[in-house]
Amino acid sequence: MKTIALFPKVKQPDAKKLAEQVITFLKEKKIHVVVEDDKAEVLNQPPLSSANPGEIKYLITMGGDGSILRVAHMYHYLDAAILGINLGHLGFMADVQIADIIPCLEDLVNQKFSIQKRIMIEGTSPSGETFFAMNDCVLHRARNPSLVEMAIYVDDLYLNTFEADGVILATPNGSTAYSLAAGGPILSPDIEAFVLTPICPHTISNRPIVLTPNQEIQIEYVSENEPIEVVSDGLSRFELQTGETIKLRRSPKTFKLVNLTRIDFFSTLRTKLGWSGKLR
């Protein structure tokens, strides 16, 4: 096994102690560990910037699903799979619980896992800039006090004009995030599809729609109102003016997650959503 990069939380004493335990375990297994630069001094470990990016095999985040998204965006140039250790509520991506850290790291070292390559969204802004999303791209009414209208086209074919708070285009990975809260369906993470979900639409007949990722989605902001916001994974954002269009499609890149054999998506789903099975 090559180098592993660790992205810990260190502000809370318990989190720092857990990070030190992870480092100690990996070093005992003869694995070279580097730590995100701004945490390296606190943990007395080599900084990420000192490592050859091509030698970094895995990224381990300590936090939640948001930590995974942040790392995936900030360090997109690292061709490495991510393992998420959850320090709070169980996450859909950061699904390693604190009590299971050492057994899960044992599985990682012993190659008891698979790598899931999850599809991503690639977008083009009106200015021609490219942006990416692992979870979702959200168009939201922002400063507007009322609903806004967005015309949707799929491969240049008109789909509908939604009058709503906004719309979400989510990957299967993001189908359990904002899209789910807005009434969208849960997609199994290995399905290759996008789900388009209107946010609080004015017409209740407007429903989420599942699309093939091989189709290009164009969204035009048609209301004569204030600009709306386009937000990718809750991290990057820009404004869309009246009459402007963004284009969304499948990215040639994939988002790689470590899928441990001891953890399965449906178990995480039941636990996270509080499903209890048959009512009695």
Please tell me whether 155 is known to bind a ligand.
no
**Tokens for 226?**
């204030």
Selecting among 65, 95, 107, 233, the annotated active-site residue is: 65
By CB neighbour count within 10 A (0-12 exposed, 13-18 middle, 19+ buried), where does 93 fall?
Answer: buried
Backbone angles phi, psi at 115, to 5 degrees: -105, 120
Alpha-carbon span 190 to 275, nearest angstrom: 21
Q: Is 37 a catalytic residue?
A: no
To the question of whether residue 66 is assigned a binding role by annotation, the answer is yes
Tell whether residue 95 is among the known ligand binding residues: no
The annotation status of 135 as a binding-site residue, yes or no, is yes
Is 65 known as a binding-site position? yes
With CA atoms as reference, report the closest residue to 221 among 128, 147, 124, 150: 150
Q: Annotated binding residue at 70? A: yes
- Residue 191 CB burial class (10 angstroms; 0-12, 13-18, ≥19): middle
What residue type is 244 in one-letter code?
E
Token pair listed for 28: 């005992």
Annotated binding-site ranges for NAD(+): 65-66, 70, 135-136, 165
Annotated binding-site ranges: 65-66, 70, 135-136, 165
Q: Which positions are annotated as active-site residues?
A: 65
